[in-house]
Structure 1
Amino acid sequence: MTYQPVLPTGGLLGWRFLERTYGDQRAAYEASGAVERATDYFREKIGQITTAEELVADRRLLETALAAFGLSEDVNSKFFIRKVLADGTSDQDALANRLADRRYREFSRAFGFGEPGGPNTTVPGFADRITARFAERSFETAVGETSNSLRLALNARRELQAIAEGSGSETAKWFTVLGTPPVREVIEGALGLPKGIGALDLDRQLDEFQRRAEATFGTSTISGLAEEETLSRAIDLYLVRAGNDQGGPTSPALVLLRGF
């Protein structure tokens, strides 16, 4: 049985509750049978996998691998995923490099099947790194079964900081945000930008995001937005605008019984 995160409500109030109970709920989730079985199987088998074809052929391994990068929805797109992995990222024409969503590049680069140095699946610590990502992101997915906006908030809190800490110019970091749908949705919502902005050319989108960020938060850089206080304000604004999207009520009595 998999532990289902407890969320008495969605929106900003639900976020405050989740912030307070995050550590305990994560621990309970990771100790659940389904999560332990998935991580144990991955640790046991991944060292035997040396090609993209072998990974895609093992559905249990593939499910864990994709979930670790927030790509679970692609589990049945085997030809596509095999191509993403087999091409690697070294060649600018590789499939992962031609996709707007940077998660595919991270996924392909992490496994290394198409890289000059060969696969990383036998490198010490690889299984631990992937299963740690899997546990974190699958917890977020479980949160999303009750409130998708809270799932996106958790993801943005982590990913925006990672983007800010990465290499590249501030413009490149903005393009990374614009090309990462879950992060983009939170920032777009926090800035109060209309969904139709995605129809504009990319340079115009960048200009609108930067202009609105400066007006709202006093900074037009990703590094500035990722600062703890500013990021917290951005997530709060996003959640206020998103409203309470809780998909299924959690009994207050159950919350009390569980001690949260």
Structure 2
Amino acid sequence: MSNRIREEFIQKKEPVRLNKYLSEAGVCSRREADRLIETGKVSVDGKRAGMGMKIYPGQTVKVGNKTVSRQDEMIVLAVNKPKGIVCTEERRERDSIVRFLNYPVRVTYIGRLDKDSRGLLLMTNNGDIINKIMRAANYHEKEYKVTVDHEITEDFLKKMSRGVAILDTVTRPCKVEKLGKYTFKIILTQGLNRQIRRMCEALGYEVKDLLRVRVMNITLDGLKEGKYRKLTDRELNELDQLLEQSSSLPGGRESRQERKDGAGKK
């Protein structure tokens, strides 16, 4: 079954910036690609590559003596991240999600979970999907189950749902529901740095456990901790519909802090 986001990904008739080309070929991140280009380790059609140049169909790109090409398959994975795993592409980090996953094709995360948080993490080789899901101005939902250190009150629920002053902004109104004496559910549409932990701390609570259970239409259901799976065609088609009107460009209604922390640690 085909869908628009998959078809857009595999259509590569348009030129693409060299750093993006190297990223999609699984060589490294765009930032690392820029460093390779600057140091003269990348060539295009036998000539030293320059920063910002674009690659056209049919051109030969090499890193050192190795010819590289972009991936033809769009990959989106659902991962159940355990505590202790760090959302980073830093190769020196022994507990990085990339090392932990050890996936044969280069993929990166869509929205971070901090080291002490666990649960659903989406990973992909499609940068456009990452941008569309994570732009706060698109108002896409992410759902969490949170356990705190003392009893949850009605006052706490009201304040969390109305918005809490953290960093240099007030968080957006959100859906909050009590699940137990010390546990609640929260649905966010933004991604400030360590947002849930900061919100709770501002109200005198400490987060003891944070589990992400849903990103948009993708849920954690049935996925064991430490395991991953590819999204189904049905999930990809539903995601396609949800992202149809979403922008992958910066801007919109997010605050300055939201734009700074768009990666979305919780």
Same fold judged by TM-score > 0.5? no
Higher strand fraction: Structure 1 or Structure 2?
Answer: 2
Larger Rg: 2
TM-score by length of 2: 0.31
TM-score by length of 1: 0.31
